[in-house]
Amino acid sequence: MDIVKREEQQVILQREQEQFEYDYRLSKALAASQMTGVFKTPEQVFTAIQYGRGHKWSPMQSLRNLYPLHGNVHLTAIAAMGLVLPHADKPPTIKREKKNGEPFSCTVTYLRDGEEYSRSFTIDNAKAAGLI
């Protein structure tokens, strides 16, 4: 039984290594095309692809749904909604607030398993994150 388990683990590791190598070769080709949006270097493209694999995304989905900010990979708003919506009881509500005619905050409220959740992001949050 242990031999079978070790062989299965070796097969899994071999597949992961092949996927890893394939993704890196693909990253080089995509970066050379200069059509990868905000991801410029093969290493940036590779990181996005690897991150997206965790969500079972194709490489191209990863490049369209992610962006780099302050040395980290982040989801676009559309991608985040795509991950949240299948688990929500109903579509979320979005409330945008203004102060003195200027954008001030955005609050998203959603229901999951009968419990309401709410997340807010203010203009000060955006400034602190270097988005503005």
How far apart (Å, rounded) are the C-alpha atoms in residues 132 and 54?
29
Task: Give 1's pLDDT tier (boundaries 50, 70, 90).
Answer: low
d(CA 23, CA 9): 21
Angle, CA 96 vertex, CA 128 and CA 71 arms, to 5° = 30
CA nearest 49: which of 65, 69, 32? Answer: 65
Contact 27, 46 (CB under 8 A): yes
Predicted confidence (pLDDT) per residue in 8-47, tens digit:
999 999 999 999 999 999 999 999 999 999 999 999 999 9
Round to whole Å and give the CA distance between 7 and 56. Answer: 25
